[in-house]
Amino acid sequence: MWLKPEEVLLKNALKLWLMERSNDYFVLQRRRGYREEGGGGLTGLLVGTLDSVLDSTAKVAPFRILHQTPDSQVYLSIACGANREEITKHWEWLEQNIMKTLSVFDSNEDITNFVQGKIRGLIAEEGKHSFAKEDDPEKFREALLKFEKCFGLPEQEKLVTYYSCSYWKGRVPCQGWLYLSTNFLSFYSFLLGSEIKLIISWDAVSKLEKTSNVILTESIHVCSQGENHYFSMFLHINQTYLLMEQLANYAIKRIFDKETFDNDPILDDPLQITKRLPKEETLKEVHECFLWVPFSHFNTHGKMCISENYVCFASQDGNLCSVIIPLREVLAIDKTNDSSKSVIISIKGKTAFRFSEVKEFEQLVAKLRLKCGAASTQYHDISTEVPISSESVDPSDDIEVQSLICQKECSKTVNTEALMTVFHPQDLETLNSKTLKEKMKEQSWNILFTECGRGVSMFRTKKTQDLVVRGIPETLRGELWMLFSGAVNDMAANPGYYAEVVEQSLGTCNLATEEIERDLRRSLPEHPAFQSDTGISALRRVLTAYAFRNPKIGYCQAMNILTSVLLLYAKEEEAFWLLVAVCERMLPDYFNRRIIGALVDQAVFEELIRDHLPQLTEHMTDMTFFSSVSLSWFLTLFISVLPIESAVNVVDCFFYDGIKAILQLGLAILDYNLDKLLACKDDAEAVTALNRFFDNVTNKDSPLPSSVQQGSNVSDEKSSHIRVDITDLIRESNEKYGNIRCEDIYSMRCRNRLYVIQTLEETTKQNVLRVVSQDVKLSLHELDELYVIFKRELFFSYYWCLRAPVLKHHDPSLPYLEQYQIDCQQFRVLYHLLSPWAHSANRDSLALWTFRLLDENSDCLINFKEFSSAIDIMYNGSFTEKLKVLFKLHIPPAYTEVKYKDPSKGDELSKEELLYFSQLHVSKPAKEKEAESAKNSPEKGKEKVDIQAYLSQWQDELLKKEENIKDLPRMNQSQFIQFSKTLYNLFHGDPEEELLYQAIAVVTSLLLRMEEVGRKLHNPASSTKGLSGAVCASGGPSEGQTESHLEKDPSSLREEPQWSFAFEQILASLLNEPALVKFFEKPIDLKAKLENAKTSQLSSRTRK
C-alpha cells in the first residue's frame, strides 16, 4: 500500500527494523521479529505488542519502503506491505519506473519533490477503486489497512470508525482497537504473544448497554448469541455507545424488520415536535435560534427544523414552547435590517413568528420564500378559498373547505359529524355542576387560544399541557386530537383521499374485512352510537378504508376499540386520519402480526419499573407478569380497561405527549397499588387487584349521561372501595414521572428492540428445528449449528449483495420455514463447506444439480428443511438412500448438461453460469404458476383461506414420503456416463482409490453386458458389443480410459439404439462390490465439519 510521504527519523528506528534491500534512493525494511525463528524472541513479542497498541500503519505492517535523501538522516516512508509479495511488487515498480528518471535531476530537493508527487498520484489512482479516499485523514487510511489485514472481510464492508479501548477477557483487560463497520463490531489485540480477534455481526446482538461495577467504572456491555463482552477505557464512551446503538438498530431493522426499515420516516427527528408531521416529510435544515413568545414577552432558545412543507420550533426544554408552521399557511417571509439576524414568518390570521440570532438568515429567508412559492402552488386551489380574518381561524373549517367537493360527492356515505354530537347533543338549557365545569374548561381553552393562537400554528406551552391534563372539553376534543396528533397535517396534504379510499374499498372481501365484520359489534357495545347502524357503518368504513390503504397491517384486534372512540369525538374522515397517525407515526409497528412495537414498549415499561419501583421488582419473581398485564394498556391506550369517560382523558394526554403519557400513567397505577401488589401471593391475585382498581376509576367532571358512563354503573357491593379520579391520577403521573424524557424513551426503545427481535428470532428457530427434526436423523444440536450456518450465509448476501433479484428479505408474515430461503449461489458456498462430496472435481455441478433437485417448486429458492434433508442423507443416509440421491442428481429435473464458458477454469462455474443453470426449468403459463403458488401458500390469497388447499398440500407431502424406487425413471446413456464420472470423482483421494476404481469399472462393464443381453432377447440385430468390449478392456483402474472411450465418438453412439438403466439395476450391481458399499456407509464426522464451516464461512468471502 502506498502511503502519504511522511518523515521518519531512521536513527531511532533501527532497533525495530531490519534492512533487506537498498539503493541510492530507497530502502526496504522488515519489522524485527517478523518471520524469524521463534518469533524473534522477546524483541519480537514486544514489537508485536507495540504494533497492536500504537495507531500507525507504518508501525503495524511488517514491511515498509523509505525514500532516502543522500547525506541526510531524515527518510520518507512511502509504502508498506502486509507480506513480502506485496512489498516486493512495490519495490520492483520503483526500480523499473522511478530509478531511471531520478538520475536526470540535479538537486536532491528536486528528487524528493518528484518522488512525493509521484507517490501522491499513485495514492489518488488507488483511491478510485478503494473505500479510503485521498482526502481521508492519514490515520483513518492506516486504520483501514489494519482493519483489512486483521479481519479479512470482503471489500464491500465499510469501516465507519475505530476506537482505542480495553476488552475484558475474564478479569484481565486487553488493550487493543475496536473497529465499527456497517455490519460488524470487530476487536483486535496483540499483547506479548497473545492475540485476540473478535468479530460480532450487528444482527446477532441481543443486548447493548452501558454498565458500571466495582472493577469497571464505565463500560459497554455487548451480548451476542448468549456470550457477554465488555469494552472499557473509552475516551468518549457516550459518543461510542450512541454510534454502536445506531449501527446495531440499523442492521436489525434492515435484516429482520425490512417492512419497518423501508417505511421509516426519512425525517431524522432531533425534536419531538417533528413526530407530528406527515411521515413523507424529509428534514432539510436545523438552525439554533431564539423564538419571540409574545404572550410571555421573552425569547426562548431552541432549534428550528425545516422540511419540505413545514417549519418547526421546539425550545431546549420541550415543554416550555413549541410550534409547527405549515408553509401552506404562510403569507410573507421577511428579514430585519438590524443586528438581530431575525426571520419573520407571517401566516393567515394576522399572526407572525419572529426567529432571531439565526445563522445565515439571509440565505434561509431566500430558501423559505422559494419553498413557500412551491407550497402555495401545491395548495393553490385549496388556500385561495380560505378567508383571511382578524379572528383566530378554526382549522376544522379550513379542512372542510379543502375537501368540500369530495365530501359532497360522498355525503350519502361518509358521516360529517362526530357520533357524540349526534347521540348526545348538549342541552344548553339544563345546567348542573358538571355542565358548568365543562363550560369553565371551554373558557380556559378560549383564553389560551387568544394568547397562543388557534389551529395548527398555535404555540404549545406548559399551560397547554396543564389544560390537557385536566381533560379536554367534549366540544373541542376532536379538533385538538387532530391538532396535537398531527393528523390535521395529513388531512390537509391529502384532500379527498378518504372519500376515494372508501369508494374503492366498498364491497371488497378478504381476510381483513371478515375480521372487521366479526369485531364490529364488540366495539363499545354498551354505547348507543354502536347499537345503531350509523355508528357500525362508520366504524366499518374507517377500518375497511385503512385496511385498503395499508394492506401490510390490514386489520388487527384493538384497532376497532380505538377507532370507535375516535369516531365519538371526530368526524369520520378525521377519525380515519387519527387512526393513520396512531398506527403509522405515534405507535409504529404496533398493529401487525408480531406487534413488535408493543413488545418493545413493554420492555421499556419493565425497565422503567426497575428504575422507579425497585421494591416491586424485588417482590415479583417474573417480570413477564407486567408484560402480560400491560399489553392491552398499550394496544388500546387503556380504553379496554378503564371506563370510557375516564379513558378519553388518557387519549387526550396520549395525543399531546405520545407514548410517554401511557408509560407515566402505567407507573402511576402500579405505584398507587404498590401495597396491594406487594401483598399478593401470585399473578392471579395481582391481576384481580388491578382489575378492581380500574373498575373504581371515575371521572367526576364528565358531562356524559349516566347511561353511557361505565364507571357509574358499578354495583353497590363495590361502592365501598375507594374511588380514584382519572384527573388526579394523570396529574400524579406527571408530577412523579414527568421527568422521564422523550430522548430517554427513544434510547430505551432502541436498546430493547434488539432483545425483542432476537427473542422472536429464537422462537422462529425453535419452531423450525421442531418441525425439521421429525424428518431427519440429525441431532437437535447438529440442526441448531446447521441452522446458524444456513442463516448466516443468507445474511452475508443481505450485507453485500442487496440487488440479487431472487433473494427475499425476511418476511415474518410467512410460515416459519419460508421466512429464510437461499438461492443457488448461497447453496454452492454451503455445499463446499459442508458436503462430504465437496472434494469432487465437479463439485460445482453437483451443487447445482442438488439445488435443482431440492427446488421442487422451481422458484430458485430452498428453505432450511429442504437444505437439512440433503445434508442428513449425505451424512446419515443408508447406502441405498445415498445412491438414490446420486441417481436422481443425474436425471431430470435435477440434471442439466453443464457447458462451461471458460474451459481454462476447469469445472468451476461462475456465479452468472450457476444462476443461469439453476433457472433452467420447463416454463409454465402464468395462470398455472399463480394457481400453483396459491395452492402452495393458501394463506397468501386475498380471498378466504381455503382449508381444502391446505389438506391437499398436506396429502401431497405425505405421498412424497412414500416414493418407491420403482417409480424412478430410467437413466439414459449420456446421464449414465456423467453418473460414472461423478463416482470416479468422489473416489479421488480416498485411501482405497485404486480398489474403488476397479470396482466401478466392473460394475459399469456388468451393467452394459446386462443391457446388451436384454437387447438381444428383444432385438437380436441390436448389439453394443463395441461399447461393452471397450469398457471390459479398460480393466477398470483408469478413469480416463473409460471416460475417453465413452466420449471418443458420440456420433457412433447415436447411430446405435439408445440404452438405459433402471435404478434397481444400478443398485443391485453396486451392492455386489464391498468396497463401494464400505465407501458410502463409512461414518463421517459432521461435528468437525460444522466447526470448520463456522470458522471458515466468513473467510471464504475474504478480499482477493
Which of the two residues, 676 and 1, has the higher pLDDT score? 676
- Residue 189 in this model has a pLDDT that exceeds 90: no
Q: What is the DSSP string of 971-1006?
A: EEHHHHHHHHHHHHHHHTT-TTHHHHHHHHHHHHHH
| 332 DSSP β-pair partners | 346
pLDDT digits (tens, 9 = 90+) for 25-51: 898 988 776 655 444 555 555 655 555
Q: What is the pLDDT of residue 43?
A: 56
Q: What is the mean pLDDT of residues 817-831?
A: 90
Distance of alpha carbon 816 from alpha carbon 771, whole angstroms = 10
The sign one gets for the Cα dihedral 910, 911, 914, 916 is negative
pLDDT digits (tens, 9 = 90+) for 300-334: 999 999 988 899 998 887 667 899 999 988 999 99
Q: What is the grid cell recorded at 673?
A: 397499588
| Helices 433-452, 462-470: inter-axial angle, 10-degree rounding | 160
Contact (Cβ atoms closer than 8 angstroms) between residue 524 and residue 530: yes
pLDDT digits (tens, 9 = 90+) for 697-750: 998 888 776 666 666 444 444 455 688 999 999 999 999 998 998 888 988 988
Q: What is the pLDDT of residue 1042?
A: 44
- Verify cis geometry, omega within 30 degrees of 0, for the bond prior to 278: no
Q: E strands along 870-966, which residues? A: none
Contact (Cβ atoms closer than 8 angstroms) between residue 1068 and residue 1003: no
Which of the two residues, 1005 and 256, has the higher pLDDT score? 1005
Contact (Cβ atoms closer than 8 angstroms) between residue 664 and residue 679: no
Q: Which residues contact 726 (CB under 8 A, 6 or more apart)?
A: 471, 642, 646, 649, 650, 697, 698, 699
- Residue 1041 in this model has a pLDDT that exceeds 90: no
State how far Cα 200 lies from the chain centre: 16
Query: Residue 263 — pLDDT band, cuts 50, 70, 90?
Result: low
Q: What is the pLDDT of residue 949?
A: 62
CA angle 850, 965, 774 (to 5 degrees): 65
Q: What is the grid cell recorded at 756?
A: 425483542
Identify which of 64-78, 518-532, 867-881, 895-909 has the greatest average pLDDT.
867-881
344 φ/ψ angles, rounded to the nearest 5 degrees: -115, 125
Identify which of 270-279, 706-715, 910-919 has the greatest average pLDDT.
910-919
DSSP character for 1021?
A: T
- Residue 679 in this model has a pLDDT that exceeds 70: yes
Q: What is the pLDDT of residue 566?
A: 95
Q: What is the grid cell recorded at 183?
A: 455490519
Task: Label residue 555 exposed, middle or buried (CB < 10 Å: 0-12, 13-18, 19+).
Answer: buried
- Residue 1025 in this model has a pLDDT that exceeds 60: no
- Residue 858 in this model has a pLDDT that exceeds 60: yes
Contact (Cβ atoms closer than 8 angstroms) between residue 787 and residue 769: yes
Q: What is the pLDDT of residue 947?
A: 55
Query: Residue 901 — pLDDT band, cuts 50, 70, 90?
Result: low
> What percentage of the chain carries pLDDT values higher than 90?
34
- Residue 640 in this model has a pLDDT that exceeds 60: yes
Quote the mean pLDDT of the chain: 80
pLDDT digits (tens, 9 = 90+) for 592-637: 777 888 999 999 999 999 999 999 888 877 777 888 888 889 999 9
- Residue 127 in this model has a pLDDT that exceeds 60: no
Contact (Cβ atoms closer than 8 angstroms) between residue 479 and residue 472: no
pLDDT digits (tens, 9 = 90+) for 771-821: 999 999 999 999 999 999 999 988 888 787 655 554 566 677 778 888 899
Identify which of 348-352, 453-457, 905-909 has the greatest average pLDDT.
453-457
- Residue 130 in this model has a pLDDT that exceeds 60: no
Q: What is the grid cell recorded at 168?
A: 475484558
Q: What is the pLDDT of residue 20?
A: 87
Distance of alpha carbon 5 from alpha carbon 25, whole angstroms = 14
Q: What is the pLDDT of residue 8?
A: 76
Task: Label residue 755 exposed, middle or buried (CB < 10 Å: 0-12, 13-18, 19+).
Answer: middle
- Residue 932 in this model has a pLDDT that exceeds 90: no
- Residue 500 in this model has a pLDDT that exceeds 70: yes
- Residue 1059 in this model has a pLDDT that exceeds 50: yes
Q: What is the grid cell recorded at 161?
A: 470508525
Q: What is the mean pLDDT of residues 363-372?
A: 89
Distance of alpha carbon 919 from alpha carbon 912, whole angstroms = 11
Q: E strands along 832-911, which residues? A: 862-863
pLDDT digits (tens, 9 = 90+) for 944-996: 445 566 566 656 655 555 556 777 889 998 899 999 999 999 998 888 889 99
Q: What is the pLDDT of residue 56?
A: 44
| Helices 477-485, 395-402: inter-axial angle, 10-degree rounding | 80
pLDDT digits (tens, 9 = 90+) for 282-305: 888 889 999 999 888 889 999 999
